[in-house]
A and B are shown apart, each in its own frame.
Chain A
Amino acid sequence: MKMKRFVLPAIYILAAALRITQAGASPYWYDEAYTVMVSRLPLGQLFAALYGDVHPPLYYVITWLISHTMGDSEIVMRMPSALLSLASVWLTGRLGRALGWDAAAVLAGQGIMAISPFQLFFAGEARMYALLQALLMVAALGVIERRWWLAGLGALGALYTHNYALIYLPVIGMVGLPCALRGKSFLRLAASLGLPVLGWLPWGSVLLGQMGTVSGGYWISRPTAGGVAEILYYLFLGFSQSTWMFTAATVALFGAFTVMIWRLAAVRPSGWVATLTIGLLPLALAVAASFAWKPVLLFRGLIASTPALSLVMGWWLSRMRSSHKITAALMLLTASVLAVVNLYTSNPKNNLSNTEALGLVRAGYQPGDVMIHANSGSMPSWAVYAPEIPQYRLPNCGEFEAWGSLSQATQAAIGITTLTLDQAPGRVWFVASVGPMHHACYGPAIEAATANAGPVKLLADDSLNLAGVWLIP
């Protein structure tokens, strides 16, 4: 208890410092730039953009309000995620106690959440994942503590934040079911989660139309053993690990995971079934849906599993003998800290490449010049930072642009219009960004477009990606 008095504030201070200091550290990457583009639109147009996209509107309405009142600098737009992620560290404590974990386990779980590389990535991203996690934790807390209004509010908010709430809410309902049956409050449980679903139905009809556009991409994992194992790794150690550390970290994590599950099954501490259910069942459901329906295995959508898994890991670590703790700390803590360091040092560098290229364009820009993108993929990141330069994209060269690219409706709503090179009024700054998901026609199209052009900056040129800027006189 005495230790808790000092350790808990230290955990919150560390969690806050790690989250808030990185908020303005790097330029926006593609997804964040899309958030900013959408948030700059008038509210009606924002909804037109979202109807053609794959995400519900709550997060964008929040960022719209922020953007229209406080501007859209990186630190301002990422602050909600930083604060919500910090709130999740506190919610982990509440959830852990409500699930019946002892004080040491809860404290360790909060400590893991504070420095989790996975959590820190989404705490520093102007996207909806920290919000989704916080709302789902509120819904779970409401169900477990039988505060039905809280459960309903969290569930409704989560449904309007991300489609993965549809996977988590049945799991949360399942966790609350035994207690609700014992307390004869099944109807209240059903109402607290069922009414939000009814309230979400208007958006559900939009979702049905959007489902056709969910067609895989870099962000959809394959439901294979490797894909699932990778997601489990991400949930604990994030995806910023250095190559040289990755193998050792994987061995240590899966070894720890095995011993942890073994100890859980042997000791069966209070709340272990409910906690593991929240931690692992959503992943199992997403895998099942990917087999039975279409690929929907999105590791980012599983962010709300991290608090539960952190509590289980926290319980295991807090019960260890000192010598074992040193071993675990040497292996897991080192892997975790190095992943955080890598996240904080490499992320800004990666995102800076576009900014550097934009600096070169600005230096050589002449009135009458236009910028033409090979496709819509590179446009948000450039348009957000250079709204003064007229920007267009080439028309699609094939029957589709890329798997997972913005729909035509969304592109029209956020102001992405097409222009061919022949139609350009003057010089063209040609920006290309092509990856594996793009139609095969883009390779030859870019080759043809840049045949007589001077390269300004080549950002990537390997077997997977081609990205760069050329000046076409």
Chain B
Amino acid sequence: MSDRYIAWIEAMNKQESMFVVVALGGVALGAAWCLRSFVWMPEPVRRFSERAYLVGGISIWILTILYTVRAL
């Protein structure tokens, strides 16, 4: 095994771990959206929560991009 191979395996492990965490974050956000149907709330509150979730989702999405650009 070459040093390059060891470095590649280490990079792969790190990349895969990070990918799983990020993907699970997405799954959690999606699951939270789905689970709203199990929670009773008055219709105006439901509509507000929906809009808040969508606006929040887009905001998190844009902030993630901005944070990554800054980190790079």
Contacts and interface: CB of A to CB of B under 8 A. Distances in A.
B26 A225 contact: no
Given A230-B19, A255-B26, A443 B2 contact: yes
Contacts of B65: 244-245, 247-248
A224 B23 CA distance: 14
Interface of A: 222, 224-227, 229-230, 233, 243-248, 250-259, 262, 323-324, 327, 330-331, 434-440, 442-443, 463-466
Which secondary structure characterizes the binding site on chain B?
A: helix
Contacts of B22: 247, 250-251, 254
11 contacts: A243-B72, A247-B68, A250-B19, A258-B26, A258-B34, A262-B30, A262-B31, A436-B5, A438-B4, A440-B1, A464-B4
Contacts, number: 124
B54 A323 contact: yes
B19 A229 contact: yes
Interface in B13-72: 15-17, 19-20, 22-27, 29-31, 33-34, 50-51, 54, 57-58, 60-62, 64-65, 68-69, 72
Which secondary structure characterizes the binding site on chain A?
A: helix
B57 A254 contact: no
Size category of the binding interface on chain B: 35 or more
Contact of A259 (B19, B34, B51, B58): B34
A435 B4 CA distance: 7
Contacts of A251: 22-23, 25-26, 29, 60-61, 64
B72 A226 contact: no
Contact of A254 (B3, B11, B30, B69): B30
Contacts of A257: 26-27, 30
Nearest to A323: B54
A437 B26 contact: no
B21 to A, nearest CB: 9
